[in-house]
Structure 1
Amino acid sequence: MTTNANATALDRLDSDADAAVTELIQALQEGHDTGDADRYDSFFAADVVWGTPKGQVVRGFRPLNAIHHRMMDPGPVAPRSRFELVHSIRPAPGVVVAQIRRRGEAGGFSESAMYVLVRGADGWSLAAAQNTPVTDTLPA
């Protein structure tokens, strides 16, 4: 195995970014637990780009929030899931990329998602996310 001797390490310390990731996970967890799509989506930017676990792309808060309302109403969502941070990196000032896993309980759906948060004038917003199902079986 070779390594790229010229590769630049991008991660930098940013406690504000770390706090934003913690708050995002809390919003996802609370929204999922209560079936509150508005809480679940509370970090999402107006022009968020969202990749679904089925490979679709949804652009914009309004259509994504409508989808989440259909999926979560009436709450709570069953079976329960746990959201947990896998890893995060702060590659530039005001940017954090976090890999968050949703672990479905009782055989429920599990996924891993890459979230991109950006700090703007009004605080942190989710600019983009890509969800991937967690499975032991890959297509042939």
Structure 2
Amino acid sequence: MDNDTTPRAADIAAITELVATVERSQQNKDAEEFLGLFHPDAIWTTAHGKVLIGFDAIAEFTRQVLPAANWDGKVSYEVGHVFFIRDDVAAVKVRQQYLGAGEESEGAPLYVVSRQDDGRWLLTACQNTQVHRPGQD
């Protein structure tokens, strides 16, 4: 990542930890840990274009889909870039890789995160985009 020596190092570290928690919750297929990362009014768009508005919609979808996900838990998330829109709002570009038995896929999520009054950064508006390689359907 290219911002880690800026005066915002503590914020970048906290955002990086947020993304690490996304990774851990996905690896463990832990819907509740994942849901704990969302702002109550969050917007989430899945890699296949399903739009979820508000925590209740995100929770319903996540509790149904995440535990039944068809990967073996080998997924990684890496912060690629952080752009601070305001002091308390950042756009975070993430590289996501699913490393399954004999098959790999990649995502390019964009997370808009916001810092809360208690200092926590939460997922606020997110777009999870699947990366298609030549030859993929």
Answer yes or no: same fold by TM over 0.5: yes
Counterpart position of 1:56: 50
Counterpart position of 1:42: 36
Verify: 1:118 aligned to 2:119, yes or no. no
Give 5+ residue unaligned stretches, structure 2.
1-5
Alpha-carbon distance in 1 for matches of 2:49, 2:98: 20
Counterpart position of 1:25: 19
Identical counterparts, % of pairs: 23
CA contact (8 A) 1:47 1:59 kept: yes
CA contact (8 A) 1:17 1:94 kept: no
Paired amino acid for 2:45: G
Paired amino acid for 2:117: A
- TM-fit CA distance, 1:41: 2.4
Counterpart position of 1:16: 10
Paired amino acid for 1:53: A
- TM-fit CA distance, 1:77: 4.9
Alpha-carbon distance in 2 for matches of 1:32, 1:99: 17
Alpha-carbon distance in 1 for matches of 2:72, 2:104: 8
SS in 1 for 2:132: coil
SS in 2 for 1:73: helix
Give 5+ residue unaligned stretches, structure 1.
1-11
Aligned pair count?
128
Task: State the TM-score, normalized to the length of structure 1.
Answer: 0.79
SS in 2 for 1:136: coil
Change (3 A) 1:94 1:69: same
The RMSD of aligned alpha carbons is 2.3
Alpha-carbon distance in 2 for matches of 1:51, 1:120: 22
Task: State the TM-score, normalized to the length of structure 2.
Answer: 0.81
Q: Which one has the largest radius of gyration?
A: 1
**1:129 corresponds to which of 103, 113, 126:** 126
CA contact (8 A) 1:28 1:41 kept: no
Change (3 A) 1:109 1:38: farther
CA contact (8 A) 1:32 1:76 kept: no
